[in-house]
Amino acid sequence: MILYHGTSQVYANQILSKVDVTRSGGELGRGFYLADQLAFAVAWAKGRYGPNGKVVQFDVSNSAYANLNILSIGRLRVCSTWAQLKLTRRTRSYLFGVDVVYGPICNYPHLTQHKFESAQAGAELDRSSPKVL
């Protein structure tokens, strides 16, 4: 399974050595976010970091991904979770208590995200031979 992470050149180089699922947060709380779509990851990286925006590609083993504890959530839950986390300032700390949370991106419901939040999930990303595109 090919997944993409938009970031800066500096962080891209750090990610190649080790993925840190505790470092950042987003609309579903603390974790490492990946997209199914290269175009979205590129647009996000360039929009945030300009010419220093880069994308890291991960090739996660299908069987390894299938063995993770995955919570699939819909748009309504994604958007309500995001609103609640912003209101309570927990976008960098909230965890669902699973390996991966899968669902749409609130403002882009036709796009999906995978939030890797456990150490086991991060280890699978490290084993996936990430590369900067």
Q: Which residue has the higher pLDDT, 92 or 42?
A: 42
- CA-to-CA distance for 32 and 18, rounded, in angstroms? 12
pTM comes to 0.94
pLDDT at site 82 = 92
User: What is the rounded average pLDDT for all residues in the chain?
Assistant: 94
pLDDT at site 34 = 96
- CA-to-CA distance for 127 and 62, rounded, in angstroms? 12
Task: Show the DSSP H helices in 1-133 as ranges.
Answer: 9-17, 38-49, 62-66, 75-87, 119-126
CATH number, domain 2-132? 3.90.175.10
- 53 pLDDT exceeds 90? yes
pLDDT at site 25 = 84
Q: How many CB atoms lie within 10 A of CB 104?
A: 18
Instruction: Give 65-121 pLDDT, tens digit per residue.
Output: 999 999 999 999 999 999 999 999 998 899 999 999 999 999 888 999 999 999 999
